[in-house]
Amino acid sequence: MEKAKTHCDAVVEQIRSLYVGDELLIEKILAAALANGHILFEDNPGLGKTLLAKTLAFSIGCNFSRVQCTPDLLPADILGTNIWRPKNGSFELLKGPVFTNILLVDEVNRSPPKTQSAVLEVMEERQVTIEGKTYECEEPFFVLATQNPIEYEGTYPLPEAQIDRFIMKLSTGYPRSLDEEKLIVKRRIEWKKDDPTRDLKPVVSGEDFRALQRMVENDIYIDDAVIKYIAEIVRKTREHPQVDVGSSPRGSLALLKASRAIALIRRRDFVTPDDIKTLAVDALAHRLILKVEDVMRQVDERKIVTKILDTVSVPKDYHPR
Ligand SMILES: Nc1ncnc2c1ncn2[C@@H]1O[C@H](COP(=O)(O)OP(=O)(O)OP(=O)(O)O)[C@@H](O)[C@H]1O
Ligand SMILES: [Mg+2]
């Protein structure tokens, strides 16, 4: 536990030294990574999405590759392709960027649907199929995808069904105060360059990061009462009058995994109902499909999940072990 704390703190600290903003957001990002979950960052241009994703990726001693999505990006550009080697008289796989630990898919909604579904398939299966042959993904493997809100021109919105594969959808938001706004400018003066992530060194080795992931999986206890709390919240999303399709059980599992990870980050070996409350909106809201009239009225799914949290009674007598 002591060691885990040092490692988690080091990553949070490194992200904080570049990204100006919500501490809780940084905890959530790390939680998703520890849970080996894919994260979707969605927000307006220029709000630090790429900065955050890159900082996380560079802070963990894992392999990392990046794909900048464009409308002409082909599935093979991400997965890889077989090329003919005349010398050997055979085809050889030229591995694409997907053969890595952390895949940063920048501006995912600028890539055409065929390429999106290639990525999303790998996300779920954790294996890559190229011309009929299947290859396992590396361990750990997770995707950090960024996108601008779907109203922007020249984009292909991710299908709802595929958005479900992200453990959380997070947004960075605008700086919260004049001081934060100033700090961003001041840091830029200090760095003397636009991309401060270039000089970053990992603060946790790949081996240690995998050990943390194993702790999340094996050593963090969740009491029956807290499991029931998750299940009740998820069920309520299906009963809500403004919701056409509520969260699938995958949403419950996302909450389970992320809450165990955040427990570890917060130096506990058990999940509390408060962990669930902290994560529920980011882990569930993107899975809801609203009724057509509510989509037209631009009802916010996040507010619906927040309201649901107010109606589900919080377990008081859960056991820490
Ligand atoms: N909260 C923040 N803290 C520190 N720097 C920030 C923050 N927000 C933006 N920046 C700086 O602003 C610039 C743009 O950020 P970034 O490229 O991460 O935006 P983005 O959200 O990925 O934008 P786009 O949607 O256009 O790709 C970077 O130089 C980044 O360092
Ligand atoms: Mg970006």
How many Cβ atoms sit within 10 Å of the Cβ of residue 155? 18
Counting from 1 in the atom list of ligand 1, the atom nearest the Cα of 54 is: 18
For residue 98, report the distance from its CA to the centre of ligand 2, in Å.
Answer: 19
Ligand nearest to the CA of residue 190, numbered in listed order: 1
| Residue nearest to ligand 1 atom 16, measured at CA | 48
The model's pLDDT over 164-191, given as tens digits with 9 standing for 90+, comes to: 999 999 999 999 999 999 999 999 999 8
> Which of 16, 50, 153 best tests ligand 1's pocket when mutated (most atoms within 8 Å of CB)?
50
How many Cβ atoms sit within 10 Å of the Cβ of residue 156? 17
Query: Mean pLDDT across the stretch 83-91?
Result: 92
CA 305 to each of CA 28, 131, 244, 281: distance values in angstroms, whole numbers, following the listed order = 17, 42, 14, 6
| Residue nearest to ligand 1 atom 9, measured at CA | 48
Asked if 53 contacts 188 with a C-beta cutoff of 8 angstroms, the reply is no
For residue 125, report the distance from its CA to the centre of ligand 1, in Å.
Answer: 31
Mean pLDDT of the chain: 93
The model's pLDDT over 203-245, given as tens digits with 9 standing for 90+, comes to: 999 999 999 999 999 999 999 999 999 999 999 999 999 999 9
How many Cβ atoms sit within 10 Å of the Cβ of residue 192? 7
> Which of 41, 42, 47 best tests ligand 1's pocket when mutated (most atoms within 8 Å of CB)?
47
> Looking at this protein, which amino acid is placed at residue 59?
S
Asked if 246 contacts 238 with a C-beta cutoff of 8 angstroms, the reply is yes
Whether the pLDDT of residue 13 is over 90: the answer is yes
pLDDT of residue 28: 97
pTM for this entry: 0.93
What lines the ligand 1 site, CB under 6 Å?
19-21, 45-51, 107, 146, 148, 184, 194
The model's pLDDT over 267-309, given as tens digits with 9 standing for 90+, comes to: 999 999 999 999 999 999 999 999 999 888 888 999 999 999 9
For residue 178, report the distance from its CA to the centre of ligand 1, in Å.
Answer: 17
- What is the C-alpha radius of gyration for the chain, rounded to an integer number of angstroms? 20
Task: Name the percent of the chain lying above pLDDT 70.
Answer: 99
Task: Name the percent of the chain lying above pLDDT 90.
Answer: 78
How many Cβ atoms sit within 10 Å of the Cβ of residue 131? 11
